[in-house]
Amino acid sequence: MGALDEQRTWKVRQAPRKRFFSVATLARALPRRRAIKRLALYALVTITFYKLSKLLLPADHPVYLAVNWILVCIHSFFHSTSSIDSWLLTTKGSYPVDFASRVGILVKTGYGTRERLPAQLEALGLREWDPERAVAVADFAGELNLTVGTVPVRDAVGELMEYLEPRGWGGAERFKKYVPLRDAIVAGDEDRALSIGRNVGWELDALKFIWGLGILHKTTPAKDWYLILDDDTYIIPQSLMALLSHLDPSKPHYLGNSVGDYRGRFAHGGSAVALSRAAVDTLYRLHGDVTYEAHVNSLTETWGDRLLATTLQKIGVFVDERFNHLFNGESALDTRIWTDRFCAPLVSFHELKRPEDMRAVGARLEGLRGPVLWSDVWPLFGGGEMTGFNGRPMREGRDHVGKLTEGVSRTTRGVGTAEKCMKLCMRDRRRCLAWRWDSGSGECHTAPWMIVGREVEGAVAGINGAWAADLRDRCRG
């Protein structure tokens, strides 16, 4: 007997016994009501404990951080991302932002990746360098050529070394790794400098966050918002402004793609980080002891973006989890378009390591008006018509799944044909948006997202075109 037949039989059996049906329904509802009451009680206790811990404990105390994280989880339980996205897109913001004059930009680069910077700045529309708008920091000092003019690059690592050396930190291990790079650059030994820069550049990057943000804050006119970007990150200004226009810059805000555990939830640097005027002013003008401690901690902290978060925690500023799904840590072709993000504004791309990839993204999005949604990535970057998969459901030599996530994507082994893989996906229509079959291994991968993807030898892929088109049409409605 099929599921539909069982449902119909159940309805027939219950029809003449309405009183029993209502009693049974009430009986089933009681445990649910108790669970809701318990959840409300837990929330009340947590909020009370949060208020007490806020009064009695430092803002970066593990207990305070744990309680704060529980409150974030409770908020996420009761508020869907779609409700947040709707008011971002349909309500006019009370705090309009001019990207050209009211947003300061810090770009971090390195000697081993410096060829990315001109392409990034040009893609962002900064073809003429404006020192009142942006600062570029690295592990070297010099100038890089733009289409019009040059970009001065400040050696944040060298400046930090000069600052900390008289205070007894000149012998730090990271400074020992920096000095050979500096010496090779001064000696004009390009091959050696590149080799050192590419080997230790990721480690020296942790030294640039706090020092570089301080340079930006000190040397540019006061801004409403400050951005921190890696040199392979692209920002979509229209989407970012749609978000920032709803937030008061005179209040401390810390935004980005949050990762990590409750002790140090931080905005992933590659996905872009946004800080309000109040957050940056409070850190640099009122808490010199905290920034000094951060400079010292940068000598041992693995990730500079996590150091930024733990530093802000000390002054009571935490990453805002409501908007983390708007920031993206993947390239345009590899961006996973999740089913619950179709209608959300997309703020950033990452992993655009080749200058030609960065320029291509900038050219594709240049001139667009209004926010770019996650679902817009598909048509903008060559995904084609979604409903086209209904008539021609398989694409040979393509991949529309991308990297797999344990516990979310599914892998089925021993699948003999692409057709069988496609059928596995279509059976699970509300969990599978895209599938990929690998002819060599016979593995079928299904996922609740889709990517525009790249050419992959021996692969066959497709998407659930009807479901994807339905999700996209809801954004338009």
How sure is the predictor about 8, in pLDDT bands with cuts at 50, 70 and 90?
Answer: very low
* H-helix segments, 314-459: 355-365, 377-380, 388-391, 418-427
Dig out the tokens for 166 from the structure.
Answer: 């008289």
Give the pLDDT confidence of 76-133 residue by residue, as tens digits.
666 667 667 878 888 889 999 999 999 999 999 999 999 999 999 999 988 889 999 9
The string of pLDDT tens digits covering residues 305-346 is 999 999 999 999 999 999 999 999 999 999 999 999 999 999
pLDDT tens figures, 439-477: 999 999 999 999 999 999 999 999 999 999 999 998 866
Q: How confident is the model at residue 3 (pLDDT cuts 50, 70, 90)?
A: very low
The DSSP output letter for 343 is T
Q: What does the pLDDT read at residue 77?
A: 61
Query: Which three-class secondary structure state does DSSP give residue 97?
Result: coil
Q: What is the pLDDT of residue 181?
A: 98
Given this model, what pLDDT does residue 429 score? 72
* Cα–Cα distances in angstroms (integers) from residue 99 to residues 81, 102, 359, in the given order: 25, 6, 20
Q: What is the DSSP pairing of strand 134-138 with strand 103-108? A: parallel
CA distance 268 to 229: 10
Q: What is the mean pLDDT of residues 266-281?
A: 98
Any residues with CB less than 8 A from the CB of 134 and at least 6 apart, and which? 104, 105, 106, 107, 121, 126, 216, 220
Pairing of strands 410-412, 443-447: antiparallel
Backbone angles phi, psi at 461, to 5 degrees: -140, 165
How far is Cα of residue 12 from the mean position of the Cα atoms in its chain? 51
| Comparison of pLDDT for 412 and 51, the residue scoring more | 412
- Residue 315: partners with Cβ closer than 8 Å, 6 or more residues away: 59, 282, 283, 286, 287, 290
- For the entire predicted model, the pTM comes to 0.85
Sign of torsion, CA 20 25 27 28? Answer: positive
Q: With a cut of 90, say whether residue 270 has pLDDT above it.
A: yes
Q: Reply yes or no on domain 384-477 having CATH 3.40.190.10.
A: no
Give strand ranges (E) for 306-463: 337-338, 348-349, 395-398, 410-412, 434-438, 443-447, 449-450, 455-463
Overall size of the chain counted in residues: 477
Q: Tokens 């959840």, residue?
A: 39
pLDDT band at 369 (very low <50, low <70, confident <90, very high): confident
Structural contact between residues 389 and 461, judged by C-beta atoms closer than 8 angstroms: no
Question: Which pLDDT value is given to residue 390?
Answer: 78
Q: What are phi and psi of 414, to 5 degrees?
A: 75, 30
DSSP state of 188: T
Other CB atoms closer than 10 Å to residue 210's CB: what's the count? 25
The mean pLDDT value of the chain amounts to 87
pLDDT at 168 over 90: yes
- Percent of the chain surpassing pLDDT 70: 84
- Report, as an integer, the average pLDDT of 407-432: 92
pLDDT, position 392: 83
List helix spans (H) across 187-276.
190-204, 209-219, 237-244
| pLDDT recorded at residue 24 | 45
Can you tell me whether residue 419 is helix, strand or coil? helix
pLDDT digits (tens, 9 = 90+) for 50-92: 555 555 556 777 776 777 767 667 666 666 676 678 788 888 8
Query: Of 18-22, 23-27, 439-443, which range is least confident?
Result: 18-22
pLDDT, residue 332, reads 97
- The CATH code belonging to domain 99-326 is 3.90.550
Query: pLDDT, tens digit, for every residue of 370-409?
Result: 999 999 999 999 998 898 887 789 999 999 999 999 889 9
Answer yes or no: is pLDDT of 23 > 80.
no
Q: How is 13-46 classified by DSSP, letter by letter?
A: HHTT-HHHHHHHHHHHHHHHHHHHHHHHHHHHHH
Q: How crowded is residue 359: how many other Cβ atoms within 10 Å of its Cβ?
A: 16
Which pLDDT value is given to residue 46? 59
Instruction: Return d(Cα 237, Cα 221) in angstroms, integer.
Output: 20
Query: What pLDDT is recorded for position 63?
Result: 73
